[in-house]
Chains A and B, each alone.
Chain A
Amino acid sequence: KNEVEQSPQNLTAQEGEFITINCSYSVGISALHWLQQHPGGGIVSLFMLSSGKKKHGRLIATINIQEKHSSLHITASHPRDSAVYICAVDLNTGNQFYFGTGTSLTVIP
């Protein structure tokens, strides 16, 4: 049983399309993180949120604590957005995270 579920697992989009990646979780959390992993393997933190919505450039992240659901949106997608996007939840204990298995995004020019 996965405490964090992401969908879709794989996503292919045309450049310029609006993209949504979903994350559902089943545990109590203090925060949710969206991470980006490029083919080389390194991971970058995109957002950390505990309520509402955050925006950074073309990326928007939202969270609904009552429904235990978060979405990551990419507007005007670009080939450089091609990466694996990982949802992670920060448990209330503060010591551990649960990670989703990731969504592999490919944006075609």
Chain B
Amino acid sequence: DGGITQSPKYLFRKEGQNVTLSCEQNLNHDAMYWYRQDPGQGLRLIYYSQIVNDFQKGDIAEGYSVSREKKESFPLTVTSAQKNPTAFYLCASRRRTGERSPLHFGNGTRLTVT
């Protein structure tokens, strides 16, 4: 079955450390997204990518970085510059941007930084 795999499900880090969250999809989708979910707030866009080797900042990109070297992979690095990194992170994809098609989501990674 096609889908999006995020790993790990839970991640614990000390303050000051960078951490990379994995997102892999086998849906052959062009567009991939990273969202952050905090209690009481809607999902907020961190970065998105429309195609390999291209990505754009979302609304809350500060303190995060991404890469898109392969179509199926879109890892997110939470750097020590992110002031409040503890959150639930969701990766999503769709066939391509500019086209009305459903969003597919992974199961998320819950990051706790202490």
Interface residues of A (CB under 8 A from B): 2, 4, 30-31, 33, 35, 40-45, 48, 50, 86, 88, 90, 93-102
Contact = CB atoms under 8 A, between A and B. Distances in A.
Q: Is the interface of A mostly helix, strand, loop or mixed?
A: strand
B105 A42 contact: yes
Interface of B: 35, 40-45, 48, 50, 56, 58, 88, 90, 92, 97-108, 110
Contacts of B50: 95
B42 A99 contact: yes
A43 B93 CA distance: 12
A23 B110 CA distance: 27
Contacts of A93: 98
B29 to A, nearest CB: 13
B106 A48 contact: no
